[in-house]
Amino acid sequence: MNEADIVTEDLIPVKKVLTKYGNINFYCAGRVSLYRADTFHTKEPETLEWIDTFQSGDVLWDIGANVGCYTLYAAVKGIMVLVFEPSAFNYFLLMKNLMINRLDKKVEAYCLALSNNASLSAFNMNYLEVGDSCHQLAPIGDVSTARLRQSVLTLSVDELVRNFSPAFPNHIKIDVDGVESAIVLGAMKTLSDPRLKSVLIEIDDANPEDLNIVRMLKYAGLELTSRRRAPQFENSTMWNCVFARTESA
């Protein structure tokens, strides 16, 4: 690393966040990534509390990890995490966060989109700052007015498990801004496996298609056990919902 590189690195602020499992450092390369560090404890406290319930030896799959807030929290707790984040911008920052927290050898992070099948697809982005969200996965031939069109490879959860035998998930977090239904459809065998204990997924009351997500998860033997959101989102139609495998399921 030359002197210019060192100076550039020093200009990027690192925000330290205190947690019950130890400090987490966030590499804040802009306004949005700083916001994610600043709101770590307040934006989705229900997600942190869900991770608190994990047991030693559990494996989390974080699908749609953004810059890795919840991946980092689970990892400092000692949970093994497999991460899937298709945005090249966010994947870069995710890897920086893993590096500065010395978790890059403890977390498996893939710049990969998950859906209901294997395909060459496009990731349409209207917001280009690192840490941004609300990007849209679309077929490769889709004509979009997005500011940036990133080509991506998609796979389904069941294809990943069948073809590559990764560490099997005991918990899955799905936060993907619109393709939740496709991911669940492509994960039905995995979701029905008794080793899978719980799923945290965003459900939009305003989207009739999300009712189908609830039906698919119930068919897989998972029951809704929690439906929450932070007070600042009380006017939103979005909820963080936990579905768990119960004795009666």
Look up the CATH superfamily of 43-244: Vaccinia Virus protein VP39 (3.40.50.150)
Sign of CA dihedral 219, 161, 138, 33: positive
In whole angstroms, give the CA distance from residue 20 to residue 117: 39
Q: Domain spans of the chain?
A: 43-244
pLDDT > 90 in the chain, percent: 60
Tell me the average pLDDT of the chain: 87
Q: Quick one: DSSP state of residue 233?
A: G
Helix axes 69-77, 45-52, angle to 10 degrees: 30
pLDDT in tens, 169-221: 999 999 887 788 999 999 999 999 999 999 999 998 888 888 899 999 999 99
pLDDT in tens, 216-235: 999 999 999 999 998 888 88
* Reported pTM: 0.89
Categorize the per-residue pLDDT at 121 as very low, low, confident or very high, splitting at 50, 70 and 90.
Answer: confident
Beta strands 80-84 and 148-156: pairing type?
unpaired
pLDDT in tens, 80-96: 999 999 888 889 999 99
Q: What is the pLDDT of residue 235?
A: 84
Task: Give rounded-to-5 percent helix, strand, coil for the chain.
Answer: 30, 30, 40
Cβ 200 vs Cβ 166: under 8 Å: no
